[in-house]
Structure 1
Amino acid sequence: MGLSAAGMASGLDIAGMTQQLVAAERKPKADRIETQQKQVNVSLSAYGQVKSSISSMQSMLEKFGKDEAFNGQKATSDNSDYVAVKATAKAKNGSYTINVEQMAQSHKLMGKELFSGDPEASLGSGEMVIKVGDKSMTLNITEDNDDLSSIVDAINNAEDNPGLTATVINTGEEGGSKIVFSTTETGVENTIEIDTSAMTGQLASLAYSADMPEAERKVDEMQAAQDARIKIDNFTTVTSSNNTFEDVIEGVTLDLKKLTGTSGTDNPETDDVDVKSVKITIESDEKSTKDSLKSFVDSYNSLMGTIDKLTGFDADKDPDDPNRAGALNGDSLTRSVTTQMRNLLNEPIEINGKLYQMSDFGISIQRDGTLELEEDSDKLDDIISENFAVIGQFFAQEDSGFLAKADKLLDSFTDKTDGSLSVKEETLKERQKSLDDDMTELNKRMVAYEDRTYKQFLAMDEAIGQMNNQLSSMMSLMMSFE
């Protein structure tokens, strides 16, 4: 409320006195709320840091699982310009020679007749049935869409398009353009057939099937549909409808780029190619496993470092130093994260009837709870090489592997619905809102208190004014008797 500077009768600073009384009344209550707000905000921030660190570790564990980080296989090609290769954890160590004898091709047709590009030109009407492999669509051409552009658009935009594209080629010849049909996928199973038996006009000339006599065709086959074909170790021949071969060799994907060379076939296209075959090699990706072990140790130590900083207590610091104790010093929930993770690290995992622990793979637990990876690089390489298959199972074994157990444990803290850290955060946020409401209510009460106090001072000022007037009157009366 607006306050006047001073009492008119008393000369007192009513506004100042009111504000001082309000401030004195408000301060202890506001200080208590603000202290609690600060404590809640600090705790909320600290829990957020712990939760963020745990979530980061979970993301890393999830990525490890997807990337098969501890049991990955490495595939290399001695000439990836011809054959590129990838391997999953299912791949077995070995080497193979690959001959690329044939690349997969899409089917392409071109109509022999020239079609006018004039939008007013009518090219025919009726039903055109187009098949690609075992899929088909039926186009109903009427006078509303019988020009060249509309027909091509109708084919390309059809919801049931079986997998082909129609294109207009301007040949430069008098009379217009030609239509080209191309399948979107390769392989002999994706062969085009066009039935125009129910059509009239020029469009009827687009009929095509592999069974049609050559003399009756008015459509040229620009490119035959063709499967890719490779020979493995110069012995086993395998085909694919596209240029990617998956699991022909278990766990291996071959991506063909171009034909390898041949000898004595009188085909200059391949006889003149120097690269006659491509060698691919599959082996254990021990470097990736080593890098993953390092990343795991670093991530875990980072989490422990965050928790130690937030829960720590430094007795050497001055008792008044705000950094003497961490924001979560003495917090049982945060200690629970540390305790349960340490227990999990010490928990053995059974693989093929034998129990293994982290220490078997060069990871040791230090007295301060952090992890240390074998520092001798050669010794660590030997450990990984000797235990490669076991390391992969130890970490990635479904349900019973370390990654699955750790993710389940950490999820009990970070789950959005019932994770203990998430529940704690929600409780603090509710407390935060309650304190904000308390401050709002205090401010309302102080406004009312200020108004009431000011009115009381005004009443006092008015009473003093009346007393002064009465005193003045009495003094005047007394002076009149002299």
Structure 2
Amino acid sequence: MALVTSLGSASGLPLSTLLSSITVSENAPLNALTNQQTAYNAKLSAYGTVQSALSTLQAAAAQLANPTLFQSIAPTSSAPAVLTATAGTTAASGSYSINVSQLAQAQSLATPGVANTASTIGSGTVTLQFGTVSGGTLDPVTGKYSGATFTADSTRAAASITINSSNSSMAGIRDAINSNKAMGVTATIVSDGSSSPNRLVLTSNTTGATSSMKISVSGDAALSNLLANDPAGTQNLQQTVEAKNAQLTVNGIAVTSASNTVKEAVQGVTMTLLGTSSSTLSLQNNTASVQTAITNFVTAYNSLQTQTKQLTAFSADAASHSYQQAPLAGDSTLRNIQMRIRDTMNTPQPALVGGTGAPLTMLAQIGVTFQADGTMAVDSTKLTTALNTNLSGVQNLFSSASGTTGFGSTMSTLLAGFTASSGPLSSAVSGLNSSLKTLATQMTSTQSMISTTIARYTKQFTDLDSLIAGMNQTSNYLTQQFAAINGTSK
């Protein structure tokens, strides 16, 4: 409430100063509540920081708890221009000699040329089938077969388009083919520079020997003469690119693929063929990913330790008899969380039965150790050696198929519980929010009482000021009258 700054001016009494002192005194309980509110909000913010750090650590632990992290394979090709590769979860380490003798190709056929792509050719129905051309001889100059047979691919249905007055030109036929995705080919017009330069080129959208084309035409002879093409009979189109399978050997074993993407020729591996030549495909355990995951876990753990140390700090100044404390200094919720994390990290894991190396049960065995300040440090050399010589032991140290053992599994479960909606942090936050709500009610009530009290004092002081001012006026009047009477008597 605003003070009456002229209060006391009439009476000459220090009523304004007195009212200010009373106001400060009456506001003391409200100031205490405000300070408490500030402390609660600081605690809420601190809990949010802890929650974020725990979530980051939990994500790092969950990655280490996943057994597939330790089973990942990194493929390397000695000749990336010949092939590249990716590995799935079923891939195993090993080395393979790959020789690519032929890449898969998609067949291309070219029609005879026409002078004008907009001129009418004819009408009818064009039907296209995919299949395999076998036997016979291919003339490399004319691009046509003699004595060959065509076997339709039973897994793919024939597709047809209708040619009429709306699309009877070469450009119209091209557009009709491309608009019908079921045809499975792409049509383009190529100019060869001759007197009738425009040739319609059909290219299969699928590579492999089973994707050779047979085109049947029912309708005008002109349309048939342009498009009809039976590898085992009349061929009006020229084959410019033969449909071929990829051919390669894997450790001397012949492999055929309709696509240049070859899957499972090596278990769990997908190879992409890019050229014809030899390459060595090496499959090694991807220890770099494991090492990164362990380092990320240590970094997240150290970040949590640094933040909790800052949030629980306490300092005292003996000279001034004062102290300062962080929002969570002495906080039992955070102290219990820290204690349970330390206990979990110091609990030995069960030794791996049937592993390839010495049993690993503690982090120190792989070069991850605790420091005097509570943080962890990584001996990269020792960790690299453990990963290269005893990967199964490292896997057991962090994860398990059951998800109940391993530092990654146990820490992930523990931390998920801390950050869950029913966890200790959520309970502490709920308690603070409840206290803040109660505090807000108390502050509103206290402010109302203070306002009422100050208003009462203000009225009383105003009345007192007016009363004394009136008495002073009476006193002055009487003094004047007495002086006048004395003057007359003389």
Same fold (TM over 0.5): yes
Whether contact under 8 Å (1:6, 1:14) holds in the other structure is no
Whether contact under 8 Å (2:316, 2:323) holds in the other structure is no
Q: Which residues in structure 2 correspond to 1:267-306 (within 5 Å)? A: 277-286=278-287, 289-290=290-291, 292-306=293-307
* Paired residue secondary structure (1:349): coil
Q: Which residues in structure 2 correspond to 1:256-335 (within 5 Å)? A: 256-260=273-277, 277-286=278-287, 289-290=290-291, 292-311=293-312, 320-322=322-324, 326-335=326-335
- From 141, 150, 156, the equivalent of 1:134 is 156
> More deviation in 183-192 or 136-145?
136-145
Matched, 1:388 2:419: no
Q: Which residues in structure 2 correspond to 1:80-479 (within 5 Å)? A: 80-88=80-88, 90-112=90-112, 114=114, 134=156, 165-167=186-188, 169=190, 180-188=201-209, 197=218, 213-215=233-235, 217=236, 220-234=238-252, 236-260=253-277, 277-286=278-287, 289-290=290-291, 292-311=293-312, 320-322=322-324, 326-345=326-345, 346-349=347-350, 351-352=352-353, 356-358=360-362, 361-363=365-367, 366=370, 370-371=375-376, 377=381, 383-398=386-401, 399-402=403-406, 403-415=408-420, 417-429=421-433, 431-432=435-436, 435=439, 454=458, 457-468=461-472, 471=475
> More deviation in 185-194 or 77-86?
185-194
The alignment-based identity, stated in percent, is: 25
Equivalence for 2:33: 33
Whether contact under 8 Å (2:59, 2:412) holds in the other structure is no
The 1:196–1:46 alpha-carbon spacing in structure 2 relative to 1, beyond 3 Å, is: farther
Deviation at 1:256, TM superposition (A): 1.6
Deviation at 1:247, TM superposition (A): 2.9
Per-residue deviation, residues 350-395 of structure 1 (Å, max 9, x unmatched): 63478751258435664856555568x3x65554444222323443
- Whole-angstrom distance in 1 between the partners of 2:222 and 2:463: 107
- TM normalised by structure 2 equals 0.69
Deviation at 1:86, TM superposition (A): 3.7
- Whole-angstrom distance in 2 between the partners of 1:282 and 1:330: 53
Structure 2 residue identity aligned to 1:223: V
Q: Where in structure 1 are there 5+ consecutive unaligned residues?
A: 261-276
- Whole-angstrom distance in 2 between the partners of 1:226 and 1:239: 10
* Paired residue secondary structure (2:34): helix
Deviation at 1:349, TM superposition (A): 3.4
Alpha-carbon RMSD across the aligned residues, in angstroms, is 4.9
Structure 1 residue identity aligned to 2:255: V
* Paired residue secondary structure (2:280): strand
Per-residue deviation, residues 243-281 of structure 1 (Å, max 9, x unmatched): 222332123332222111xxxxxxxxxxxxxxxx21222
The 1:308–1:481 alpha-carbon spacing in structure 2 relative to 1, beyond 3 Å, is: closer
Whether contact under 8 Å (1:43, 1:327) holds in the other structure is yes
Per-residue deviation, residues 200-251 of structure 1 (Å, max 9, x unmatched): 8998888567667443x4x5544344432321122x1223343222332123
Deviation at 1:297, TM superposition (A): 3.9
Whether contact under 8 Å (2:228, 2:234) holds in the other structure is no
Larger radius of gyration: 2
Matched, 1:46 2:50: no
Per-residue deviation, residues 34-64 of structure 1 (Å, max 9, x unmatched): 3223322332333233222222223334455
Whether contact under 8 Å (2:348, 2:361) holds in the other structure is yes
- TM normalised by structure 1 equals 0.70
Structure 1 residue identity aligned to 2:417: S
* Paired residue secondary structure (2:84): strand
Paired residue total: 453
> More deviation in 93-102 or 359-368?
359-368
Deviation at 1:81, TM superposition (A): 1.8
Whether contact under 8 Å (2:317, 2:323) holds in the other structure is no
Q: Where in structure 2 are there 5+ consecutive unaligned residues?
A: 131-154
- Whole-angstrom distance in 1 between the partners of 2:268 and 2:289: 17
The 1:391–1:443 alpha-carbon spacing in structure 2 relative to 1, beyond 3 Å, is: same
Whether contact under 8 Å (1:109, 1:180) holds in the other structure is yes
Equivalence for 1:78: 78
Structure 2 residue identity aligned to 1:408: T
- Whole-angstrom distance in 2 between the partners of 1:20 and 1:225: 100
The 1:203–1:115 alpha-carbon spacing in structure 2 relative to 1, beyond 3 Å, is: farther
